[in-house]
């Protein structure tokens, strides 16, 4: 007895017991011994340190292969992302910073640059997204010297020393 191929299928995933992300895939699968690569349009965010419980499962497929429709994976991410990274310090004409945020949605960040006397020389606001954000600040009008870069968004703030050098 042979089973009919599956024309299109539904998969969902849940991260740490959260709400499911559901998607229909249009690929055709043979009824036995076939596999297919499936990539969800919405990715699970596992970019931070911690243990993640990822469950991937099929739903509403009306197939006869119910025993093999769930995959459970435990992933431990031991890397720690630095929330604020200055790329190229000392710098010359531009300051490139990377802000990593765990925010659930876009937030407004303020980036300020101060001289050693505490005078604010640059003050900008940027929308940042969950994950990694790169921001470039033009510093061609600044003299060489030590400055203090402050980056902040709701619930988080960090200040680091940066050095401008001659080109």
Q: Of 24, 13, 11, which is closest to residue 73 (Cα–Cα)? A: 13
Give the class (CATH, top level) of 84-164: mainly beta
Q: Flag whether the pTM goes above 0.85.
A: no
Residues 59 and 14: their CA atoms lie apart, in Å, by: 13
Contact 42, 13 (CB under 8 A): no
- Residue that the structure tokens 């010297």 belong to: 145
Peptide bond into 90 cis (omega under 30): yes
- Residue that the structure tokens 């020393």 belong to: 161
What is the structure's pLDDT at 123? 97
Residues 91 and 110: their CA atoms lie apart, in Å, by: 20
State the 10-residue block means of pLDDT for the chain, 167 residues long.
74 90 86 71 76 87 65 76 82 91 89 96 95 92 94 92 88
Please report, for the chain, the start and end positions of each structural domain, with discontinuous segments joined by +.
Answer: 6-77, 84-164
80 Cβ contact list (under 8 Å, min separation 6): 49
What is the structure's pLDDT at 59? 85
Q: How far is CA 132 from CA 11, 73, 102, 103, 129, in A?
A: 28, 25, 9, 11, 7
């Amino acid at each position: 007895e042979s089973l009919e191929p599956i024309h299109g299928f539904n998969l969902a995933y849940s991260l740490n017991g959260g709400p499911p992300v559901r998607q229909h895939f249009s690929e055709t699968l043979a009824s036995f011994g076939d596999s297919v690569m499936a990539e969800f349009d919405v990715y699970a965010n596992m970019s931070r340190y911690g243990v993640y419980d990822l469950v991937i499962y099929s739903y509403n497929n009306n197939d006869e292969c119910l025993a093999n429709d769930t995959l459970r994976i435990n992933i431990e991410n031991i890397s720690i992302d630095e929330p604020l990274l200055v790329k190229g310090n000392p710098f010359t004409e531009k300051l490139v910073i990377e802000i990593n945020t765990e925010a659930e949605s876009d937030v407004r960040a303020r980036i300020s640059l101060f001289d050693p006397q505490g005078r604010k020389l640059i003050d900008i606001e940027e929308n940042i997204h969950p994950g990694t954000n790169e921001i470039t600040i033009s510093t061609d009008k600044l003299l060489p010297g030590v400055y203090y870069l402050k980056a902040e968004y709701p619930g988080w703030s960090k200040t680091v020393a940066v050095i401008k050098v001659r080109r």
